[in-house]
Structures are given as C-alpha cells and as structure tokens.
Chains A and B, each alone.
Chain A
C-alpha cells in the first residue's frame, strides 16, 4: 500500500500525525475515500450486532437447566465409516479463509488497474463464498434430518438449535449478500465500468476500483466473524 498524498499538505506519521489530522479541517482520515470510511463504521456497528448475538448465546448456554449437546459429536461427519469431528466445518472454514486471500489479491490487482486478473479473483471469491453457503445448507439439512429444530433437538438443551440456526443463519445471510455483490462487482470489473468510471445503476455515482477494496473490507469482516462463530459453537 502506498501512503496517501495530498498536494500542499504535509502528512506526519505516528500519533502526532493522527492528532494533527484530527485537529485539521476538511477530513479526519486524510485521503480516505468516503465509502471506505463508511464501510469501517458500518462494520463497527455490525460488530456490535454479532457481539450481542454471541453474548446472548453465552448467557443462554450458561443458564439453561438442560445439558448442552457435545459439539464434537453433533457436528461429526462420517468419512469412510469413521465419524470425524468437525470435518465439514474445517473444510468450510478453509474455503472461506481462502476466499479472503483471493479477495485481497483482487484489491491489489484492482488498484493496479489489471482488469482481467481483478475480475477473475473477484469471481473466485464469489465462488468460494457460494461454496461456503452451499456447505452450510448441507450442514443445516443434515442437522434438520437428525431432528434438530430451533425449538428442540434430541441431543440436549433446546437452546442449542435456537442459537445455532439463528447465528449461523444471520452470518450466512451476510455471506449470501456478499456473494451477490461479488458477482455484480465481477461483472462490473469485466465490463470495464471502473476503468471508464461508469455511473452506478442506482446511485449514479462514478465507479472506481476503490469499490473493490470496500467490498473486500466487508468480506474480510464476514470471514473474521466466522472465526468467532467457529470458536464459540464448534470448539467450546
């Protein structure tokens, strides 16, 4: 990443520079695109949503009078007749984290105005996300098949199903929204909308490769949230 530059203004590094930027006019985050700043603040707000979910989960799991199901048994998958704990989840997590990698590369090629590479990498990210959602649908249907419902389950506390479906569902919705946008952006990159600064369909604002980075921030956030969900649901 190159340092942001603004003509006529000397930007200082470190804490002193931060204090100076805060005290200056016009912008607080020098050279930062409006949309990028917006995405960071949105993600902060979204962090509070997921925190509320996970804290509620901890409270619910801690206070239920019935024993909590054992995750390594519930989430085990039979591979060649042997139940392997967390097999599917390991693959899902691997796919999602990999898609973060392709996203980061897409941002790099985007800024280098390498239209083709950027487009392919955004598309690869979208396909990674889609695979994740597909595997999650498989996991849901397996659990539903085994009798797990939001209101009851054969393994123990009914809150297990409630929290599991709600939180993974909410996260899955985030991933799905991301996938839809990734496909749209992949199209926009391939069609050259960012090179020509073509105006957006709805907002009528000029397109720019910075949008890839903004979507990338969202995508990395969704992956990070998954790491927490993974730890709280599958490892606890």
Chain B
C-alpha cells in the first residue's frame, strides 16, 4: 500500500498571482505566501426559506440563531432575578414567590445564565459568526453538523423551559444540583423537574460537542493562506481555547447528570448515602455525595473560563481597534489565554473548601487558584498598556471595554479573598460569594457581550446602533450593576447567608434591610435598562445609519468581505490572503492609521511596520 492512493493525500495547490514566483529554490519575494493546500470548500447553498433561515447550514445564520435563542433564555433568567430581588428586598410583596418558588428561581436563574445564556452566546453566537470570517474560511468545516448543533441546543432549551410546566415545577436544588437533597422529597422539583434538567444538560452537551468540533477544526485546519495561528485575532484564540476547555469539561457534567438521573429513576445509589428520614431508613445507601461535587466542579470551574476566555479575547480586539493601537504583548496574551485554560483544570476543589476535605487538598487547590491570578493580571496590565497613549475613541464600545476592565478587576480581587481557604471558610455561602461571581463572570462578560454587540452590529446588519441610546444603556447598566453588587460584599462581611428566602428577625436585619431594598431597586433598573438595547436594535434595523464597509477602520478579515453583511461563502470568488497580524494600527509612516491583514508588504514597505 504505497503508491496506490497517494492521490488522496496530495492536495493540489491553486495558482494565484500573489504567489509571486516563490517556487522551491528561488528566493521568495516579499509578498510570497505559501500556495493553497486545502481545496476550496464545497458548500450547500439553501434555496428555500427553510433551508436559508431555519435549517440553515451557514455559520453566520446559525450564529444569529444561537444569539437570539440565548438572548431569549437570558431574558427568562433576568425575569427570574427580578422575582428573587422582589422577595429579598420586599419580603412577601409578591405573594406567589413562596419559599419553594424562590429556590426554583435561584436554581433556574443560575443554570440559565451560566450555561444556556453565556456559554451559548459566546461560543455558539460569537463563535459561529466570527470564527470562519476571522480565519478566512468560507464556512465552518462541517456545516451540517453545525446546524444539528443549534437544533440540539433548541431542544435542550425547550426541555429546560418545559420543566416550568411539569407537576412540582423546575428543580429548586440550587444550580450546583448537589445530591442527596436534589432528588429527595421536600426539595422543590425533585420529581420531573430534576429529570428534565438532567436531560436538558445532556442534550446541551451533545449539541455543544457538535459545535465545538466545528470551531476547533475550523481554526486548526481551515485557515486561509497566510493566516498562521499567531496572526489570528485574540477573539479566535479566546473562543478556540474555551472550546478546548468545554470539550474536556462537559464530559464530567454529562456523566454527573446521567448518574443523577439513574439515582432518581432506577433507584441506584451513586451519590446517595444511607439516609434517615423521619425515623425511617430510605432505600438508598452506600453512595458518595462528594463524588457528585467533584464531577460537577471538574466541569464547573473550567466553565467559568469557558465564559471568561472568549470575553478576554473579544475585549482585546475591541480595545485595540478603538484605541487605534496594537494590542500590547500579543504573544503574552495568547500564552496567558492558553495558560489560564490549562490551569483551570487544576483548581476545581476550591469550590469545595467547606465539604470537609483534607486540609492538604485545600492547600494544593488554594495554591493553584492563586497561580491563575498571574496570567490573568498579565492580561489586565496589557489591556491598560494597550490603552496607554492610544488614540482612544470614547464611543459606546470603548465605554463597555472600560466597564469590563473595572468590573473584572473588582471581581478578580475578591476572587483572591475566596481562593484562600482560611478567608473562604467564614465567607463561604454568604453574599460576598454572590457579589464575587456576579462581578467576575456575570457583569464583566456581560460588558464584553454588550461591547461586542455595538462593535459587530454594523457588520451583521449593515447599520450603526444608536450611540445616544447606547450611552444611556451603558451608564445605567454600569452604575446600576455596581449599586447591586458593591453593597453585597458588605452584606457578606456581616454574615448574611446566600440562598435564604427571607431573613426574618435575625440580627442582620437592622443593617441589611435597607440595603436589600436598595439592591432590589437597582436590580429592577438594570434589568429594565437592558430593554434599551432591544429597542435600539429594532429601531436601528429600520432607521439606523448605514455603516458601509469596514466602518471602524479595523484590520481583521471579518470587515474585509466583498459584501457587507457577508453572504454565504463569505468571500465571493477569491479567498483572502493574509500578510500580517490584525493589530497594525497607527503605524508610523503609513497613509492610514490602520493596515488591513490583507495588505501585502510591498504596499507598505516604506513605513515602520514590523514583520508579524
């Protein structure tokens, strides 16, 4: 089996005028780019409404579908948070928010926001739309699989939402779903609710795996000519690394969810110890609840970075474009993303300091947790150094970027408190924890999402979102979010426990009551402010200012398509050829303050541009 099937492995290069005669043996001229080694992608073009907009194989449409569905679940999560804040700020004001309902709202809010909103939005939404455009591919490498991925997500969301309507309602065990109480009578939704939750998670993981394979192979195997890994925008690096994490972390969630369903349905005792209930021994026995915690957090901690890494990547690109400066320390940024991703698999038990584990484990996990602060701090310094002496455009996008840096640093610093065992133990399960993770993985990624929407909306829809409404949206959200979460740190310090339905006459009441009311009012305001964006989008689609090509004067490929918004296949007849990284802004001697990735070196040979 030597010569017979070489044809399968030989890929014929396509000739192109940009090759510049760089065949072997001849010194390549300065514009030489290696010839094409992958055949042009064979795409299925939809003809009917259904194949173009519903069961569509175009990654851009799938990205928008992910975006819309994730936003829908996000609005559901937002409404749940309103109901919780209503009860916490004004106990009993809404009669239907009983203790059971409160726990159900807490659980569903957490699960929806982390998995079905943020993960789906960053990876499914931005990942699908941006990866093929940014690496110069015509589409994702497996368009059909990509379509199935979205529809699995759709079914997962449908199953999740169905749990609101089954007898007993959705599960109320907290988003961590800790057994044994999750599946025992007395916990709200311990019947059909938890089963639908597990089923929905399994469907989500299956769907995500299909999407994730697409993102990874598109980045690894389908870049355009000249696009090396170290010329990719950091957005792609962030989404790529987050996808790697997801591919390795979601299996633990899948296994945990499956075992939990078996404990519920078949009466196995994977996670169930011997339990005495009202003097009677239940049929369960011999299992380990801690095992579930390990499985859950082996997924749960990387999940934090699955949300954070795409945010890191996107913010780097936004800051660079709108400060008209190259990103400071690009390679450092890439390695920090990769390093954070790798480290995130060695820190999971810092969520379990109070589970009674061996103190040496606590020591180990505290150490690894604090080590993560190093690459993360490097990234923050680099964002600030990118802004330093930049030609900053103070537009809505930049405001969101600055908001991100502030909220992220804030949430990161409280993370250092909680990473240390001795500090964590008294703060565990207080509002300090709630404030920490909402700041670092709620508000901070949300700032990035908003910035990204204002940045890329002109590409997707061809029109600018209103700056005036955008600034209202930003300031209400930013100041409001601080009003919500800053006081929560204080509530945590005075010992107010989280997940409590009501404080009743506990000694906290005197100082906590007024603060809880204030937080709730701020939460109503911030939630309402998000509808400014929805109004802005609807208004813009009708009457917004047309954006035209490359309105932000950016360098990366997604702005350089022949048509705006890009069509199916992205690039018309000819794929782009890349000659540089996407951060050549304000190069000394250059005609414009930006040099696009497709500009050949010979056109800018008399400038101070560096080889990248």
Contacts and interface: CB of A to CB of B under 8 A. Distances in A.
- Of listed B5, B24, B285, residue having the most chain A CB within 10 A: B5
Interface string B206-242: 0001001100110011111111111100000000000
25 contacts: A5-B6, A7-B12, A8-B34, A25-B223, A26-B38, A27-B221, A31-B11, A34-B141, A34-B221, A37-B217, A37-B220, A41-B217, A51-B251, A52-B251, A56-B291, A60-B270, A60-B291, A111-B4, A112-B1, A151-B266, A151-B267, A158-B269, A166-B258, A166-B268, A203-B143
Interface residues of B, number: 69
Given A56-B270, A203-B142, 19 more contacts: A2-B1, A2-B3, A2-B6, A6-B13, A7-B11, A24-B34, A25-B34, A25-B223, A26-B225, A27-B38, A28-B229, A34-B222, A45-B247, A52-B298, A56-B295, A111-B5, A158-B286, A162-B266, A202-B144
A66 B33 contact: no
B210 to A, nearest CB: 9
A38 B142 contact: yes
Interface string B19-33: 000011000000001
Which 7 pairs across A and B sit closest by C-beta, in order of nearness?
A: A48-B251, A162-B268, A52-B255, A111-B5, A49-B251, A203-B144, A151-B267
B10 A150 contact: no
Nearest to A200: B144
B603 interface: no
A14 interface: no
A204 B286 contact: no
A16 interface: no
A78 interface: no
A94 interface: no
Interface string A57-80: 001100111100000000000000
Given A41-B247, A158-B286, A111 B37 contact: no
Contacts of A81: none
Contacts of B229: 22-23, 28
B8 A23 contact: no
Contact of B269 (A9, A28, A30, A159): A159
A82 interface: no
Interface string A8-36: 11100000000000111111111110110
B288 interface: yes
A163 B266 CA distance: 12
Contacts of A1: 1
B309 interface: no
A135 interface: no
B47 interface: no
Contact of A111 (B1, B220, B225, B231): B1
- Of listed B142, B213, B227, B254, residue having the most chain A CB within 10 A: B213
A171 interface: no
Contacts, number: 193
Contact of B4 (A9, A37, A113): A113
Interface of A: 1-10, 22-32, 34-35, 37-38, 41-42, 44-46, 48-49, 51-53, 56, 59-60, 63-66, 108, 111-113, 150-151, 157-159, 161-163, 166, 170, 202-206, 208-210
A26 B37 contact: yes
A40 to B, nearest CB: 10
Contacts of A150: 262, 266-268
Contacts of A151: 266-269, 283
B44 interface: yes
B527 interface: no
A6 B11 contact: yes
Contacts of B11: 6-7, 31
A6 B303 CA distance: 39
Contact of B227 (A6, A25, A51, A162): A25
B150 to A, nearest CB: 15
A65 B273 CA distance: 10
B34 A26 contact: yes
Interface string B256-281: 10110010001111100000000000
A24 B9 contact: no
B23 A8 contact: yes
A113 to B, nearest CB: 7
A69 to B, nearest CB: 13
B526 to A, nearest CB: 37
B222 A30 contact: no
Interface in B119-150: 141-145
A150 B42 CA distance: 48
A162 B288 contact: no
A52 to B, nearest CB: 4
B529 interface: no
B24 A7 contact: no
Contacts of A31: 9-11, 37
B311 interface: no
A35 B42 CA distance: 14
Contacts of B4: 111-113
Given A22-B229, A45-B247, A204 B44 contact: yes
A149 B144 CA distance: 40
Contacts of A60: 270, 287-288, 291
Nearest to A107: B1
- Of listed B23, B37, B44, B298, residue having the most chain A CB within 10 A: B37
B578 interface: yes
Contact of B223 (A2, A9, A26, A66): A26
A53 B141 CA distance: 31
B10 A49 contact: no
Interface in B368-382: none
Interface string B148-179: 00000000000000000000000000000000
Contact of A25 (B24, B226, B266, B285): B226
